[in-house]
């Protein structure tokens, strides 16, 4: 981990860590959403708090860079299952010890103040593992820990990650995060192809062409955890299935799974949409003819430079978001007509 006592203590740790982490299958990477103010508390003055966290648990921890106009940042903790759970418990305690709001004025409010909350980022493909059949697993985790868990139904924009909010005492959080982390490690192969969420500031600008109507993106940090900034955010951590193409070391291959009922909206009539995404991104995109799993998801293979692949992923998920909004609007109109 980098020296967090430097002026750049709020940045990601050393990029050399990624290959080391990937070689160690016993390591868990657990990401969470934190506000800019929470990030400041977690880091501490001159990196004091996060340095103490590292010393106490042995984890590697970092928070993405702050970007003006973006209020969320990504906290990333890497280590053994037990050390990561302990680290998040210590982080929760630090946040409780340094409340961002005004102090409670009554005993009832003081009791509420002992409840901490962590917003975990979990791959959509792993949500079934955490929730379990008919919610059995998530109920078990809540029962043995005493924590409350709330899983979002929608994926975060331009990503395949969802939020699982865990609320409870510091002790309850540590137990719950140990259980959640074990679920993720037991089924980590399902995370391959995950597109990591990265808070962005989206600025619309005009233009008559399709290119002109695109949104410009301001990303926080370098878009990936403990990765080499030169590679950009398309080079993901263990949840990425990318590899260097033999004929050109600058080209990358990334596979992502798309729900079967969304494939048509990405391809478009006569292949118009996918052709446009290929043209605008510069990446080659191929689509498997048959589903690759029992959920019926189709595998999309993206090949290009890191920058081209990042653009392709953005366009793909922008198309998915647009289709989800269209279907939601149609469903609401049907309800009004009923």
Residues 25 and 107 in one domain: yes
> Is-contact 83 75, C-beta < 8 A?
no
From 131, 158, 191, the end of a domain falls on 191
Do 286 and 328 lie in a common domain? yes
Dihedral (CA of 253, 254, 259, 262) sign: negative
Q: Which of 135, 168, 191 is the last residue of a domain?
A: 191
Would you call 290 exposed, middle or buried from its count of C-beta atoms within 10 A (0-12, 13-18, 19+)?
A: exposed
State the average pLDDT over residues 249-266. 83
Least confident of 13-22, 60-69, 128-137, 316-325: 13-22
How many domains, in total, are found in the chain?
Answer: 2
| Whether residue 231 sits in one domain with residue 105 | no
- What pLDDT, on the 0 to 100 scale, is given for residue 201? 52
Range of the domain at 49: 17-191
Average pLDDT of the segment spanning 45-60: 94
Does residue 143 share a domain with residue 93? yes
Q: Give the phi and the psi of residue 94 in degrees, each rounded to 5.
A: -60, -40
Task: Tell me the whole-structure pTM to 2 decimals.
Answer: 0.60
Are 96 and 78 contacting, i.e. CB atoms less than 8 angstroms apart? no
Q: Report the alpha-carbon distance of residue 152 to residue 150 in Å, rounded.
A: 7
pLDDT of residue 104: 52
Residues 216 and 166 in one domain: no
Phi/psi at 160 (5° precision): -115, 30
Q: Same structural domain for residues 186 and 251?
A: no
59: left (phi over 0), alpha (psi -120 to 50) or beta: beta
pLDDT at residue 54, rounded to an integer: 95
Residue 10 lies in a domain: no
Residue 303 in any domain: the answer is yes
With cut-offs at 50, 70 and 90, classify the pLDDT of residue 317: confident
Do both 179 and 92 map to the same domain?
Answer: yes
- Whether 179 and 53 map to the same domain: the answer is yes
Please check whether residue 204 lies inside any domain of the structure: yes
Residues 175 and 32 in one domain: yes
Within a domain: 1: no
Co-location of 67 and 211 in the same domain = no
Burial of 106 (0-12, 13-18, 19+ CB in 10 A): exposed
- Judged by average pLDDT, the poorest of 140-144, 199-203, 216-220, 241-245 is 216-220
Same domain, 121 and 23: yes
Report the range of poorest mean pLDDT among 3-7, 105-109, 111-115, 275-279.
Answer: 3-7
State whether 172 and 114 are in the same domain: yes
Among residues 191, 224, 241, the one where a domain terminates is 191
Residue 186 resides in a domain = yes
What CATH number should be reported for the domain holding residue 301? 3.30.1370.10
CA distance 271 to 263: 11
Residue 156 belongs to domain with CATH number: 3.30.310.210
Domain membership flag for residue 2: no
> Is residue 249 included in any domain, yes or no?
yes
Given this model, what pLDDT does residue 298 score?
Answer: 86
User: Helix (H, G, I), strand (E, B), or coil: what is residue 218?
Assistant: strand
């Amino acid at each position: 981990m980098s020296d967090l006592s430097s002026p750049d203590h709020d940045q990601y740790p050393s990029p050399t860590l990624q290959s080391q982490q990937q070689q160690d299958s016993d390591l868990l990477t657990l990401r969470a959403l934190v506000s800019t103010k929470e990030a400041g508390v977690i880091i501490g003055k001159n990196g004091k708090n996060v340095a103490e966290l590292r010393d106490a648990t042995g984890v590697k921890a970092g928070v993405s860079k702050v970007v003006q106009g973006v209020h969320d940042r990504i906290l990333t903790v890497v280590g053994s299952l037990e050390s990561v759970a302990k680290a998040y418990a210590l982080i929760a305690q630090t946040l409780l010890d340094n409340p961002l709001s005004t102090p409670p004025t009554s005993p009832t409010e003081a009791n509420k103040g002992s409840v901490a909350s962590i917003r975990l980022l979990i791959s959509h493909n792993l949500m079934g593992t955490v929730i379990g059949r008919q919610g059995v697993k998530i109920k078990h985790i809540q029962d043995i820990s005493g924590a409350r868990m709330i899983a979002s139904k929608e994926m975060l924009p331009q990503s395949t990650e969802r939020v699982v909010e865990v609320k409870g005492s510091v002790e309850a959080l540590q137990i719950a995060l140990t259980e959640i982390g074990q679920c993720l490690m037991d089924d980590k192969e399902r995370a391959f192809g995950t597109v990591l969420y990265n808070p962005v500031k989206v600025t619309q600008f005009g233009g008559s062409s399709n290119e002109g109507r695109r949104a410009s993106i301001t990303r926080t940090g370098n878009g990936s955890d403990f990765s080499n900034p030169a590679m950009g955010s398309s080079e993901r951590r263990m949840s990425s299935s990318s590899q260097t193409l033999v004929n050109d070391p600058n080209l990358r291959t990334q596979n992502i799974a798309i729900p079967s009922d969304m494939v048509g909206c990405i391809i478009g009539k006569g292949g118009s949409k996918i052709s446009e995404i290929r043209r605008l991104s510069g990446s080659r995109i191929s689509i498997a003819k048959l589903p690759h799993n029992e959920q019926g998801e189709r595998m999309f293979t993206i090949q290009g430079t890191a920058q081209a692949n990042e653009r392709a992923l953005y366009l793909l998920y922008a198309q998915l978001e647009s289709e989800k909004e269209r279907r939601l609007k149609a469903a609401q109109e049907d309800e009004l007509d009923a």
